[in-house]
């Protein structure tokens, strides 16, 4: 199975619902979900920082994806996880923007994958 398809499905099935749930629930979000966001943010920060360095040295055109996750998504998740129920509205709004953006971007990826599959 195509790695891009797996990543797109993962984001649509797990990441988007998590971001939208927290973004809409705001302070009504259970405390354990904030802990998940904090841990996920740390994991993303480490992984995508490393991956972006590797891709930048390789002069990969895909490095922007890792930089986006390391410098925007990871800090947002860490901040929301750290602030917990005290998180300000703008951060929840940014999480909603990220959730809807991820949904659109990964649906587009799936459509492109479907269009490139050749029927024999």
Instruction: Quote the pLDDT of residue 1.
Output: 66
pLDDT digits (tens, 9 = 90+) for 3-29: 999 999 999 999 999 999 999 999 999
d(CA 67, CA 45): 9
d(CA 65, CA 73): 11
pLDDT digits (tens, 9 = 90+) for 83-102: 999 999 999 999 999 999 99
Q: Average pLDDT in the 54-77 region?
A: 98
Q: Examine the pLDDT at 113 and tell me if it is beyond 80.
A: yes
Instruction: Using the Cα atoms of residue 48, residue 90, residue 8 and residue 114 in order, give the sign of their dihedral.
Output: negative
pLDDT band at 119 (very low <50, low <70, confident <90, very high): low
Q: What is the value of pTM for the model shown?
A: 0.93
Question: What tokens does 7 get?
Answer: 């990543």
Question: What tokens does 45 get?
Answer: 């920060």
d(CA 20, CA 26): 10
């Amino acid at each position: 199975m195509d790695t891009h398809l797996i990543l797109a499905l993962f984001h649509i099935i797990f990441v988007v619902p998590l971001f939208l749930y927290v973004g809409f629930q705001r302070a009504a979000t259970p405390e354990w979900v904030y802990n998940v966001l904090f841990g996920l943010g740390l994991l993303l920060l480490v992984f995508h920082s490393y991956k972006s360095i590797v891709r930048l040295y390789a002069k990969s055109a895909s490095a922007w994806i890792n930089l986006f996750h390391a410098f925007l998504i990871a800090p947002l998740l860490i901040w929301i996880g750290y602030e917990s129920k005290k998180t300000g509205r703008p951060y929840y709004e940014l999480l909603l923007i990220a959730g809807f953006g991820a949904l659109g971007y990964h649906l587009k990826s799936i459509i492109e994958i479907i269009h490139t599959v050749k029927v024999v």
